[in-house]
Amino acid sequence: METDEFWALVEASADGARTPDERLAWLTDRLAGRPAAEVVDFALRLDELRGPVDTWRLWGAALLIFDGFCSDDSFFYFQTWLIGRGRAAYHRVLADPDALADLPEVRRLAGRPMRDWAEDELPDWECLDYVADEAYERITGEEEGLDDAVEARGRELRCSPEPVDEAWDVRDSNELAHRYPRLAALFPLPGRGRAPVWETATP
């Protein structure tokens, strides 16, 4: 499975799906109908696409959306959520994280406290990470067999963020406003009118 086919599957999963769970079920069923080697390919393509967006540049943007609460796990699954938006959105945000402000899914969250966000609105798609595991188990009957298959190819899947770009103080409100003017216009900046609360790794 090449990258083009990966994107085609991810984007097709949104057709007619009303919830993230419906997309996941569709993807799992489609993958489970393919050879096991293609399921491994899917997992590897997902991992490869994670790399370019595993950056402090994107983490800072995610912090604005999450009102300063964006742990390692939250950012890790924010990456899969972004991949789930499709190829065009992924590449726009990769080039400029402030382009998140153009996504309808992000704009719908603006001006609303996180406690009012519905579960299927959260910019977090953790379960996309498990689609290949479930499909592989269905095909082979092997629990956790996907990891062994990936290792047999000389690879290891990421399990947490490890940004490799230049670190900067993602807690600096002025820097956030400078780097992400459109997002800052949609979401209140930490420290303006209230005490900031941060939940993230420190660069």
Question: What DSSP character marks residue 69?
Answer: B
Q: Is the pLDDT of residue 81 over 90?
A: yes
Q: Please report which confidence band the pLDDT of residue 67 belongs to, taking 50, 70 and 90 as the band edges.
A: confident
pTM of the model: 0.91
What pLDDT is stored for residue 53 in this prediction?
A: 97
Q: Is the pLDDT reported for residue 200 higher than 80? A: no
**Which residue type sits at 77?**
Y
How far is residue 201 CA from its own chain's centroid? 17
Cα–Cα distance measured from residue 77 to residue 129, given in angstroms and rounded to the nearest whole number = 8
Q: Give yes or no for residue 129 having a pLDDT over 50.
A: yes
pLDDT digits (tens, 9 = 90+) for 21-45: 999 999 999 999 999 999 999 999 9
Is 182 buried (19+), middle (13-18) or exposed (0-12) by CB count in 10 A? Answer: middle
- What number is the average pLDDT over the span 142-154? 92
Distance of CA 36 to the CA centre of its chain: 24
Calculate the average pLDDT of the chain.
Answer: 90
Does the structure show a pLDDT above 70 at 197? no
Domain borders along the chain are 3-157+169-186
Confidence of residue 69 (pLDDT cuts 50, 70, 90): confident
